[in-house]
Amino acid sequence: MLSIKLAWRNIWRNKRRTIITTLSIVVAVFLSAITRSSQEGQYDNMLENTVGTFSGYIQIHKQGYQDNPTLNNSLAINDSLYEVIKSDKNIRSIIPRIESYALVATGQQSRPAMIMGIDVEAEQELSQPQTKLQKGNYFSSNSEKGAIIGEKLRQRLNAQIGDSLVLIGQGYHSMNATGLYPIKGTVSFSNPEMNSSLVYLPLKTAQYLFSAQDRLTSIAIKLKTPTQLNATAKYLKSRLPTNDYEVLTWQKMMPELKQAIEVDRGGGIIILLVLYMVVGFGILGTVLMMIAERSYEFGVMLSVGTPRTTIAKILSFEILLMSLMGAGFGILFSIPVAWYFNVNPIDLSGAMASAVEQYNMAPILEFSTDPEIFTSQALIVFFITLLFSIIPILKAANLNPIDAMRS
């Protein structure tokens, strides 16, 4: 206890020295936390644009659909399947879909497009097409005869609201799939690929088009707690016959997205390691300077019989207290900055925006506010500070009293 009191008084005996040392730790925590926050925010943005607002965190298919996604591998709807899905408490919403591809045309223009038959009520929980309407109106029922298309697709087709959209494709068991639907509205997503290729149809209308009544290609699932993803997927797998259904998490459905995140995260960690090294040697220099300034003081203490272990203990407590203050203030300063850029993402423009859009991401730089980011970075810098302080502390404890007082 006495050593802690002496350490605390020593800290404030020279406020300038304490502020410089503590400030170096604060800057280190701030920079590392903000760097991680921006990086994780980008991943959140990426997942939100794909998983959170389109595919869902989990999808249930007929066994084999993932490897061969055709209408012939669609699954038949039955009440028992829905009851099993609903039995998991982490399920927030169930979104049935039937998807395929077709040629769409208006007048002289035609384009390949993805046709997505949606439950007009359930889909509002995931892709929320009603909130992304640019023109026109949303569907009123699952059997309505109408189409909502991406805004860029409408421009490429040179079509207007109310124009007829011709769909030509292949249905279930190679049946002809042709239909004529008025364009009821247009939607705009942050994902440019969806804007240029997506056609929404009401679920029953799409099932009729593809001659696949009472069939679905996928059931997307939105979770209450995404962090419980693996536990929910494991539960569903245990309750559904594996010969009939496949339960896939977004990592299984989109391995390229998972790999891209892991590669980018690895690059970010390398940058952070460089930052940690710079911070560590900066702290080492600061602590060495602090101890060098007090050589005479340590020489006197050793001359009057103070044990070397006591000097090492007092110095350790000084470093520990300054590290705690630095880590704490680093968290306090970094959280408001991350929160601000989470609420007000930075809009990217020019070549950078185009590069981001190539990965189907919104051209914004959004910061993450996950508390784990700030606490983990504070702990890492805290331990780096302690690690790089060991040598200066040992050097101070092993000073020659006469040489120290002469210096």
* pLDDT tens-digit map of 94-110: 999 999 999 999 877 88
Q: Residue 360: its pLDDT value, please?
A: 59
The Cα–Cα gap between 375 and 334 comes to 11
Query: Which residue, chain included where needed, has tokens 């929320």?
Result: 128
pLDDT at 243 over 90: no
For 16-21, what is the mean pLDDT?
82
- pLDDT (average), residues 112-124: 92
> pTM score, two decimals?
0.69
CB of 181 closer than 8 Å to CB of 169: no
Q: How far apart are CA 187 and CA 225, in angstroms?
A: 28
Q: Which residues of 106-140 are buried (b: 16+ CB within 10 A; e: fewer)?
A: beeeebebbbbbbbbebbbebbebeebbeebebbe
Query: How many whole angstroms separate alpha carbon 351 and alpha carbon 235?
Result: 44
Strand boundaries in 163-317, DSSP class E = 164-170, 176-187, 198-202, 215-216, 218-223, 245-249
pLDDT band at residue 236, thresholds of 50, 70 and 90? Answer: very high
High-pLDDT (> 90) share of the chain, %: 27
Q: Which of 84-88, 272-276, 357-361, 396-400 has the lowest mean pLDDT?
A: 357-361
Residue 148: pLDDT over 90: yes
Angle CA(269)–CA(275)–CA(276) in degrees, nearest 5? 85
> Which residue bears the tokens 């350490």?
7
Share of the chain above pLDDT 70, in %: 96
Token code pair at residue 320: 């520990």
Beta bridge partners of 181: 165
pLDDT at 16: 82
Residue 356 has a pLDDT of 66
The pLDDT value given to residue 286: 75
Residue 247 pLDDT level (bands cut at 50, 70, 90): very high
> What is the average pLDDT score of the chain?
85
3-state secondary structure of 204: helix
